[in-house]
A and B are shown apart, each in its own frame.
Chain A
Amino acid sequence: MSLLKVEELSVVFRQRGREDVRAVDGVSFSVAPGETVGLVGESGCGKSVTSLAVMGLLPRRGVLVEGSIAFDGTELLTLPADKLRTLRGRDMAIVFQDPMSSLNPVVPIGVQVTEVLVRHRGLSSGEARAEAAELLRRVGIPDPARRLREYPHQLSGGMRQRALIAAALACSPRLLIADEPTTALDVTIQAQILELLKGLVADTGTALVLITHDLGVVAGMCDTVHVMYSGRIVERASRHELFASPRHPYTAGLLASVPRLDRPRGERLEPIQGSPRDTLPWSRGCAFAPRCRNRVDECARAAPELHGGSHSLRCFNPIEAKAVNR
């Protein structure tokens, strides 16, 4: 039974005098309790907009959201704003990429972490303070009582990100969305944060949606991976399948273009040609076609559909499947 079920989600940004921008275009995925699902793609592929849509954080003006987002059976897109506010922060929480810009610089950490406890769990401010200190301790911040009195600029990047995670965990949410949670951090700190998230999923059965551009992070964390390109999911598979036998030329291209520490040196990298700007609108064909090595004539005539079961693909001329022993 899935906790979050997103079906045919589309997000269109409209601005007068300009062409509509379809940032998310018919995206479907689901997450079960205790499961980690990855949304992977490069900048502009629509992965962050998807997460904002799920949390109901997109502005109402000028944005058209279509499709369905069901959280534990409740449709979020038609839910009144006050009901959504009750869910948000209590049952579902989000951690953003940049801990400096998502914390208020002129408010002490303690106030920002206790806010959610007072709002959703009705704790008194004294109780909330004690609970907040416990939360900070749980996410590995030393000397939590002192840290609660400090301001964001007094904390290091890793600690700020942990404080944000602490606030997100304050009400033991059933769904946590982590949008590039470690991109702004150094690798040794990244390893700490990822361990923390892994432990959380294992211990509390939280459903985790991990949004990232880093294939290495996905390989170690996610059960199911969705690869996005230009607003649509182009490949979906379990992580073992995906990494052992990537079938969409974009996924395979991404994997071939990053150098790997565990491989012998000296192999030349195989970049994907062009840039993410060189896309075709999906209405005219496959968006990846202008950069694709496997392009066939059909690609520029029609957009391929997402098909297949556990390993789905949106491609007319995919790469041969390799035998995966799992």
Chain B
Amino acid sequence: MSSEPLLSIRGLKVHFPVKKGVLLQRVVGQVRAVDGVDLDVGQGMTYGLVGESGCGKSTLGKAVLRLVEPTAGTVVFDGVDVGAQSPEQTRLLRRHMQMVFQDPFASLDPRQSVESVLTEPLRTHGFTGDGSKRVRELLDIVGLPAGAARRYPHEFSGGQRQRVGIARAIALNPRLIIADEPVSALDVSIQAQIVNLLEDLQEQLGLTYVVVAHDLAVVRHVSDVIGVMYLGALVEESPSDELYAEPLHPYTIALMSAIPIPDPEVEERRQRILLTGDLPSPVNIPPGCRFHTRCPFRQPTRCADEEPGLREARPGRKVACHWVEEIAAGRIRAAASAHDPTATEVGVPVT
């Protein structure tokens, strides 16, 4: 990684109040969507954020662009503290940080032609050159015919719509793109087209990506570094090559083993570590290690009452687990709990 990261996040928290009552609303709890995340993304790199629904990965992406206001912590982009900017300065800053959304059906205005979609950011940011020339250029970059400019979103397939969304994001030559589930709404045969397009753009335009997705195979394919999130916090951060070869955190181990691989030979040899129960609610994050209620490697000491911090367990690899060395060495094994219906009740700390 280069010396100075392009994006640097420290202690980022995004909490949403849970309110009750009709007239006199009172706050009865906090959804801790993002609960203290530190991460750095180097210039020209791709940082992949993975985790299951509700783990806070999308909220984290939005907090970087200040599309949601962080509760605490700092986001520094190219030496500028994003949170300390005035609304007008933030608007100018967004020129350099853009977003690609998941659902190409919902993120484009159905009544806006592609030309209008693509010239809107240019106008907003005071571009004075030839707008329609830039539109043709953008369409060419993302692999759409020039005639697409006059058409409307409903005339395109999902993959083509996602190309329009990407063209909009790169219209202002940003340096950082946050892609929130860029391919998950697309058909399998189309996903690879978009993945390749994102890779080509990175090379041509020197972009830095934060890719947020639940599909680990896709994330691993595009990312240099992967952060695994669970209930609002990073539990493991690792170069993506090493993550599958040797996942270290128990959650990563289970997550990796749960992902089906399209090869029957591999599927038959694989050992699956099943997690019991569901994700606890982010309103009641378990005390101690947030994963201990579902952890197949849970130990009687420390796990339930002491929160593990993210620490360097191997060179370049950070893990938030008290027992990572013991687990990696095989001294602690996963409990065989595959089908225990009496397994831990959801979100209730084990006593």
Residues of chain A touching chain B, judged by Cβ–Cβ distance below 8 Å, are 42-43, 137-143, 156-159, 186-192, 194-196, 199, 213-220, 239-240, 243-244, 253-262, 264-265, 268-272, 275-277, 291
Say how far B66's CB is from chain A's closest CB, in angstroms: 28
Least CB distance from B330 to A in Å reads: 21
For the complex, give the distance between the alpha carbons of A215 and B263 in Å. 8
Task: Please tell me if the beta carbons of B264 and A240 are within 8 angstroms of each other in the complex.
Answer: yes
- Distance, CA A65 to CA B192, complexed state (A): 35
Asked if B192 and A260 sit within 8 Å, CB to CB, the answer is: no
A259-B221 contact, Cβ under 8 Å, with A188-B254, A275-B158? yes
- Residue from B221, B259, B277 within 8 A of A265 (CB atoms): B221
A275 touches B342 (CB 8 A): no
Query: B255 contacts which chain A residues (CB < 8 A)?
Result: 187-188
- Complex contact A42–B189 (CB within 8 A): yes
* In-complex Cβ contact of B263 among A138, A262, A270 (8 A): A262
B256 to A142, Cβ gap below 8 A? no
In the complex, the answer to whether B196 meets A269 with C-beta atoms within 8 Å is yes
Chain B: which residue is nearest A275 at the CB level? Answer: B157
- B184-199 interface bits toward A, Cβ cutoff 8 Å, 1 = contact, 0 = none: 0001111111011001
| CB of A142 to closest CB in B, whole Å | 5
Asked if B42 lies at the interface with its beta carbon under 8 angstroms from chain A, I say no
The chain B residues found within 8 Å of chain A, CB to CB, are 52-53, 157-160, 187-193, 195-196, 199, 214, 216-218, 220-221, 240-241, 244, 254-268, 272, 274-275, 277-279, 338-339, 341-346
Answer whether A277 and B278 are a contact pair too, CB < 8 Å, given A42-B189, A220-B260.
Answer: no
Contacting residue for B195 out of A239, A259, A261, CB 8 A: A259
Contact A214 B260, beta carbon cutoff 8 Å: yes
> Which of A253, A258, A265 interacts with B262 by CB under 8 Å?
A258
Question: What CA separation (Å) do A218 and B244 show in the bound complex?
Answer: 21
Q: Give which listed residue, A156, A260, A272, contacts B261 with CB less than 8 A.
A: A260
Question: Residue of A at shortest CB range from B251?
Answer: A188
Residue in B192, B262, B346 whose CB lies within 8 Å of A156: B346
Chain B nearest CB, measured from A179 CB (Å):
17
Find B260's partner among A219, A254, A277 (CB 8 Å cutoff).
A219
A191 to B259, CA, bound (A): 8
**Chain A nearest CB, measured from B209 CB (Å):** 15
Shortest distance from the beta carbon of A140 to any chain B beta carbon, whole Å: 5
Report chain A residues within 8 Å CB of B244. Answer: 261-262
Residues from chain A with a CB closer than 8 A to the CB of B275 are: 188, 191-192
Closest to B338 in A: A195
Contacts of B343 in A (CB 8 A): 140, 142
Cβ-defined contact, B188 with A42, below 8 A = yes
Q: Is there an interface contact between A257 and B258, defined as CB atoms closer than 8 Å?
A: no
A239 vs B256: C-alpha distance when bound (angstroms): 22
Nearest CB in chain B to that of A144: its residue = B341
Residue of A nearest to B53 (CB): A186
Q: Determine if B217 and A261 form an interchain contact, defined as CB atoms under 8 angstroms apart.
A: yes
Cα distance A257–B240 when bound, in Å?
Answer: 19
Given A143-B345, A199-B339, does the pair A269, B264 have CB atoms closer than 8 Å?
no
Do A265 and B240 touch (CB < 8 A)? yes
Chain B residues with CB under 8 A of A276: 157, 187, 189-190
**In the complex, which residues of chain A have a beta carbon less than 8 angstroms from the beta carbon of B221?**
259, 265, 269
Cβ–Cβ < 8 Å partners of A291 in chain B: 189
Distance (Å) between the CB of B291 and the closest chain A CB?
11
A138 to B341 CA separation, bound complex (whole angstroms): 7
What are 13 A-B contacts with C-beta separation under 8 Å? A141-B341, A142-B343, A194-B260, A216-B261, A216-B262, A220-B261, A243-B264, A258-B192, A262-B261, A269-B221, A271-B189, A275-B159, A277-B157
Q: In the complex, how many angstroms separate the beta carbon of B114 from the nearest chain A beta carbon?
A: 17
A257-B189 contact given A199-B339, A265-B241, A277-B157, CB 8 Å threshold: yes
Contact of B187 among A43, A192, A215, A269 (CB under 8 A): A43
* Chain A residue with the shortest CB-CB distance to B190: A275
A contact residues around B193 at 8 Å (CB): 271
Question: B residues within 8 A CB of A189?
Answer: 278
> Contact at B260–A265, with CB atoms within 8 Å?
no
User: Which chain A residues lie closer than 8 Å to B263 at the CB level?
Assistant: 219, 243, 260, 262
- Tell me, rounded to whole Å, the shortest Cβ–Cβ distance linking A294 to chain B: 15
Q: How far is the CA of A137 from the CA of B261 in the complex (A)?
A: 29
Min C-beta distance of A98 to chain B, whole Å: 14
Query: Among B187, B277, B343, which residue has the most Cβ atoms of chain A within 10 A?
Result: B187
Q: Indicate which residue in A196, A240, A254, A264 contacts B188 across the interface (CB closer than 8 Å).
A: A254
A257-B188 in contact given A156-B279, A219-B260 (Cβ < 8 Å): yes
**What residues on B are CB-neighbors of A240 within 8 Å?**
264-265
Task: Decide yes or no: A219 and B261 within 8 Å by CB, A186-B52, A195-B272, A253-B189 being known contacts.
Answer: yes
A239 to B21, CA, bound (A): 56
Report the Cα distance A281→B158, complex, angstroms.
21
Give every chain A residue within 8 A of B157 (Cβ-Cβ).
275-277
B256 — nearest CB in chain A belongs to which residue? A261
Identify the closest chain B residue to A218 (Cβ): B262
Does B258 lie within 8 Å of A261, measured CB to CB? Answer: no
Q: Which residues of B contact A187 (CB under 8 A)?
A: 52, 214, 216, 255, 258-259
Question: Closest CB of chain A to B265's CB: distance in Å?
Answer: 8
Residues in chain B near residue A188, CB distance under 8 A = 52, 254-255, 258, 274-275
B residues in contact with A192, CB < 8 Å:
274-275
Question: Nearest-CB distance from B350 to chain A (Å)?
Answer: 13
A258 and B217 contact, CB distance less than 8 A: yes
Q: In the complex, A254 Cα to B261 Cα: how many Å?
A: 13
* Minimum-distance CB pairs A-B, first 9: A216-B260, A271-B192, A259-B221, A257-B192, A191-B258, A215-B262, A269-B192, A186-B52, A220-B267
Determine how close the nearest CB of chain B comes to the CB of A188; give it in whole angstroms: 5
Alpha-carbon gap, A194 to B265, bound state (A): 17
Residues of A within 8 Å of B262, CB to CB, are 215-216, 218-219, 243, 255, 258, 260
Interchain CB contact under 8 A, A142 and B338: no
Residues of chain A contacted by B192 (CB below 8 angstroms): 256-259, 269-272
Question: Which residue in chain B gives the minimum CB-CB distance to A222?
Answer: B264
**Is the pair B187, A275 in contact by a Cβ cutoff of 8 Å?**
yes
Whether A159 lies near B278 (C-beta < 8 A) is yes
